[in-house]
Amino acid sequence: MRHQKILVLDFGGQYNQLIARRVRELNVYSELRPSELSVEEIKRLDPIGIILTGGPSSVYEKNAPYLAKDVLALGIPVLGICYGCQLITVLLGGEVGRAERSEFGKTQLTVHAESPLFDGIPKKSVCWMSHTDRIRTLPDGFTALASTDGCPVAAYGDEEKSIYGVQFHPEVVHTEYGGQVLKNFLRICGARGDWTMHGFVEESVLSLKERLGTGRVLSAMSGGVDSAVAAALVHRAIGERLTCVFVDHGLHRKGEPEEVMRVFRDELHMNLIRVDARELFLNALRGVTDPEEKRRIIGRLFIEVFERQARAIGSVDYLVQGTIYPDVVESGRGKSAVIKSHHNVGGLPDVIDFKELVEPLRDLFKDEVRRVGTELGLEERIVWRQPCPGPALAIRIMGEVTEEKLEIVREADAIFTEELMRAGLEKDVWQYFAVLTDSKTVGVQGDARTYENVIALRAVTSVDAMTADWARIPYEVLERVSVRITGEVRHANRVVYDITSKPPATIEWE
């Protein structure tokens, strides 16, 4: 089935992935593409609407990202957000200049003209602003639709051309009626709302059956949600011709290897092989303290073990990877910046010889992957498993990785997880985990002096992991976690809670 599509052109703003996700949440497929996309390429993609994102540049800066003016003459509805709003203004003959007063954060928005873009939105509401330039003069044919105290043109539109601009950010939750603005724009585009995860599963299964034919397929099963859902989707399509390999490197969270085998081999009856490589990995990590060196060692050994197992299995035609859409976007495309390179974006196929790479989740965001997992009948514990980096607990241990340290952080992490689940907070927090620091402190346990390890707890809220805020977990929950860790985990006598947002920190400690 050919889905209707909204094209989101990326001008480098921090919320750009969020725009694409918000559109999909309204059951309309969206793609995030570089802003320098040609008119011919846009025509080929055949979108029903185009959204121009925000960005850090000023439209008058040298080398500021631009858009071919002809895009605005295609007859396709366009919505410009922040920088995109200002860019439309300049391209069509209006004027943008430095604002007398910059606006950042929550701001009162006043709608003072009727427009389909503001259907169902009250005259006064709260929006999220983040700009230092503002529109001074509108192009011919455009009407100002809304304003704030510091921005006379906070929204505009040309109803005849179906071109609109908003200086605020409708995609962020702080904009009170932002979702309605996006919904109204999709209605202007004539969106049917034909993008659902139930439909995605049905279409993907049919497509995989046709694509894979009678070939044999291999999948690396990490235990994380992405690889699990990708394997489950392919298994639904081809059954026993899929072989999954779970490399047990000894760095997993408590009970993770056993749970992976129970769910996928014993309950879903998938052909899953567990390779015991614990000794190999721990020996290679002995004495290594640099986090990047840990990553390199683990990545290299994982590929070597997987490659060896693939040869042992025999002739395999296809490799399945759990690549998801943010992996592709963050690894950089066109002139887009590389945020961080992902090993699963074109990684393993360079090492192992396969006929073709299969990435059934490549077009999905994380929340969509979870909904696909639910559609496939995977357990909630698998679908909502906490994200874990490829090196797993090795980079949640500061300094050298040892069996003793792994046991400490594994038990502390399990307690943290248990208590958050008991409090019903596991779906409210984007990511949470324990870290074994390289610090020791004096304590008193059992009336005796101790000199033991400090455990740090990390929990964040986020929508896409590009930015994150520390989670305001209730004190009584943190207290229970602390009491249990210091009472049940050997060699731990102090617990601290990380209250740093991203930026300036990252979510992980290493």
Catalytic residue among 127, 131, 151, 169: 169
Tokens found for residue 86? 């200002």
At a CB cut-off of 8 Å and minimum separation 6, what does 504 contact? Answer: none
Give dist(CA 397, CA 225) in Å, integer. Answer: 23
504 upstream amide cis, omega within 30 of 0: yes
Between the alpha carbon of residue 432 and those of residues 227, 287, 362, 417, 495, the distances in Å are: 20, 27, 25, 8, 14
Strands (E), 340-490: 356-358, 431-445, 448-461, 469-470
The yes-or-no answer on residue 169 being catalytic is yes
Helix, strand, or coil (residue 293) = helix
DSSP annotation of 12: S
E-strand stretches of 11-142: 29-34, 49-52, 78-81, 95-111, 124-137
* Residue 159 burial by Cβ neighbours in a 10 Å radius (0-12, 13-18, 19+): middle
Q: What single DSSP character describes residue 508?
A: S
- The CA distance from 82 to 84, in Å, is 5
- Beta strands in 83-220, from DSSP E residues, in sequence order: 95-111, 124-137, 143-148, 151-158, 163-166, 217-220
Q: Find the catalytic residue in 103, 171, 330, 452.
A: 171
Closest CA to 170 of 88, 97, 111, 96: 111
Is 112 an annotated catalytic residue? no
Interatomic CA distance for residues 269 and 197, integer angstroms? 24
- Just list the catalytic residues: 82, 169, 171
